Amino acid sequence: MQSDLDSIYKVDQMARQNEKTVLITGAAQRLGAAMAKTFHKAGYRVIIHYFGSEAAAHKLCAEFNQVRPESAFTCHGSLSQPEAITKQVCEITDALAVLINNASSFYPTSIGTITEQDWDDLFESNAKAPLFLTQSLVPLLLKHSTESPEHTSSVINLVDIHAQKPLKDHTVYSMAKAANQMLTLSLAKELAPNIRVNGIAPGAILWPDQEDEVNEEYKQETLNKIPAQTLGDPQHIADTALFLADGPSYITGQILSVDGGRTLFS
């Protein structure tokens, strides 16, 4: 009987060793939560990073662990301190298959009202943090690629269609996302061939959290510019992220627009 239990334990340990781990920043809500659910369903161990959404993060983690024990973990920290986030990740795993830089600040900065605090906040979350967090996690990403050469590690950055075509009254945000886009392309060159780096540029997927501040006229104007004539769904982004992580290993240095055709128009 004991030998049977030992065999089951060894099989379980081997299965866990073969599991791939993904870290998603800002994974407690919205697009981050959709990606976390999709990767977990696909068999990944998921590290749910959060800063302010503690209750939502722990709730999501508990839901995942009910389905598959020890398959989800939480990681708390400010994006301004990537070393603290990296330390927690290293305590959870010694190899990382996928890093998704999703967390992002987003709000208008009309000319005449822009402050240095706006600049620091928007550039920190959208450009600085993805760079320094990726840099600090390269050893874990390389370890996964070394142990699983058939499945190279991936970094996926959430860019924005407005990295190329600016959004009115969002000058600083658009600039920060343009930096994020160049970061994606630059890292794809520098980290090849063992780590693939790609980006996703969402179009209109979700209205802002403060939806009551977005009037119906603005919503309709936005939809009129989308050939698909509808708002996107977070699952569209989640499915694209999983494709970039698990799909053809020959894809790197690409930024996929998921926008219902919005970028076809000026």
Residues annotated as catalytic (active site), given as ranges: 173
DSSP state of 124: I
Helix (H) or strand (E) holding 182: helix 171-191
Q: How far is CA 81 from its chain centroid?
A: 17
Reference 177, options 243, 101, 98; nearest CA is: 101
Q: Let me know if 108 is exposed, middle or buried by CB neighbors in 10 A (0-12, 13-18, 19+).
A: middle
Reference 103, options 73, 133, 83; nearest CA is: 133
Reference 99, options 204, 20, 185; nearest CA is: 20
SS3 category, 76 = strand
SS3 category, 246 = helix
HSE value, Cβ hemisphere, 13 Å, CA-based, for 258: 22
Measure the CA–CA gap between 23 and 43, rounded to whole angstroms. 14
